[in-house]
Structure 1
Amino acid sequence: MTSAGSEPARLRIVRGQPTDAELAAVVTVLSALARAGPTGSAARAPTSGWLDRCALLAAPPPAGRGAWRRSALPR
């Protein structure tokens, strides 16, 4: 993985004896992922309000007239 020890190895085989073709496939996939750039929350589409788990932690609606109807509406 290194040439004349100038740079430390970035890929280390922990177990097994992969073939040259298998190593080439792994290096190709890792290189493509590195070039693709970061994928984080900015790349995702905004989630629906119905899927918001924070709404489940909210206090229940106050009792009173129409409380059963307000309980079904999004907060």
Structure 2
Amino acid sequence: MSSDVSPAEDAPSLPTIRVERGNPTPQQLAALTVVLAAASGEPAPAPARRTLWTARSRFARPRPSVGPGGWRASALPR
């Protein structure tokens, strides 16, 4: 069976960022990576939308109605 992938594509790629001099800390490398990623112009991924399962307002109960029949209206769905 023949493969459509060439041997050059199977080899691991070289690192994109290479430190020529010095001994940077992991924090400095992380800061550099963030700056370079921001300069690349690619938009940041959108935050995940919250579902109703995680909405706190879902657990808040409305105030009961005041007046005649208020106790009955408090049990009805809204």
Q: Which TM-score tier does this pair reach, normalised by the shorter chain? A: 0.3 to 0.5
Greater share of helix residues, 1 or 2? 1
> Structure 2 length as normaliser, TM-score?
0.38
Q: More relative contact order in 1 or in 2 (CA 8 Å, sep 6+)?
A: 1
In terms of Rg, which structure is larger? 2
> Structure 1 length as normaliser, TM-score?
0.39
